[in-house]
A and B are shown apart, each in its own frame.
Chain A
Amino acid sequence: DQQVKQNSPSLSVQEGRISILNCDYTNSMFDYFLWYKKYPAEGPTFLISISSIKDKNEDGRFTVFLNKSAKHLSLHIVPSQPGDSAVYFCAALYNNNDMRFGAGTRLTVKP
């Protein structure tokens, strides 16, 4: 039972444009959401997070939006850069230690 879903396995955008990565979840008990970025042969690295009491969190080129009623969050990258090409994982925390991950979306930013 996959409680966190990333329905797009891949996304390709042009350099300078906006990348929008989407994530849906089913468990209303999740109260903290995170995005991780992963390059090949490396572990995931933390990118940005948002608490369930907020609907938006911004950090430089990265913004995460949370829609609790729709159980949906999205990561916006503006402007996209070739170095952003990686696999992005959405994760949700329940009961503090139980972090559930989506299957990931491979982003390719073309020069």
Chain B
Amino acid sequence: NAGVTQTPKFQVLKTGQSMTLQCAQDMNHNSMYWYRQDPGMGLRLIYYSASEGTTDKGEVPNGYNVSRLNKREFSLRLESAAPSQTSVYFCASSYAAGTEAFFGQGTRLTVV
């Protein structure tokens, strides 16, 4: 049982480049989330999707876009990467809003 799978695990980008982080879950969860983790800041919510077909902004959405491709997949796109977006990104899913979330292993992104 894979749970939540994120790709890639590591990525280095140059300032201004674009990329998409992929996330898939096989637990038939309705809600999916993207977080970033920075030192001393805990995890901060970037975007979430309460159910297939819906997406909403979280605490720190600027510079990102998301797509809920289907019930399983939720991608995060950086259109023009900036050094401030250097972080560890976590995708998560939960059966429903307000229930505990299951996290992927994370993507370590460095923007130079």
Chain B neighbourhood of A46, CB < 8 A: 100-102
Residue of chain B at shortest CB distance from A102? B42
Question: A103, B103: Cβ atoms under 8 Å?
Answer: no
Chain A neighbourhood of B58, CB < 8 A: 98
Question: A101, B104: Cβ atoms under 8 Å?
Answer: no
> Which label, helix, strand, loop or mixed, suits the secondary structure of the A interface?
strand
Contact size range, B: 20 to 34
Question: A98, B90: Cβ atoms under 8 Å?
Answer: no
Chain B neighbourhood of A96, CB < 8 A: 50, 97-98
Cβ-based interface call for B31 (8 A): yes
Chain A neighbourhood of B33, CB < 8 A: 97, 99
A91 to B102, CA, bound (A): 13
Chain A neighbourhood of B43, CB < 8 A: 44, 89, 91, 101
- A89-B101 CB under 8 A given contacts A44-B90, A97-B48, A100-B59: no
Interface residues of B in 1-33 (CB under 8 A from A): 4, 31, 33
Question: B42, A4: Cβ atoms under 8 Å?
Answer: yes
Interface residues of B in 50-95 (CB under 8 A from A): 50, 56, 58-59, 90, 92
Question: A89, B42: Cβ atoms under 8 Å?
Answer: yes
Chain A neighbourhood of B59, CB < 8 A: 98, 100
Cβ-based interface call for A42 (8 A): yes
A37 to B: closest C-beta gap in Å: 11
- A43-B48 CB under 8 A given contacts A98-B58, A101-B42, A103-B42: no
Chain A contact residues, CB within 8 Å of chain B: 2, 4, 6, 32, 34, 36, 41-46, 49, 89, 91, 93, 96-104
A46-B102, A93-B98 are known; give 10 further A-B pairs, CB within 8 A. Answer: A34-B100, A41-B105, A42-B105, A43-B4, A43-B92, A43-B104, A43-B105, A44-B90, A91-B43, A96-B98
Chain B contact residues, CB within 8 Å of chain A: 4, 31, 33, 35, 40-45, 48, 50, 56, 58-59, 90, 92, 97-98, 100-106
Q: Write 5 A-B pairs (CB below 8 A) sorted by A numbering.
A: A4-B42, A36-B103, A42-B106, A43-B105, A44-B43
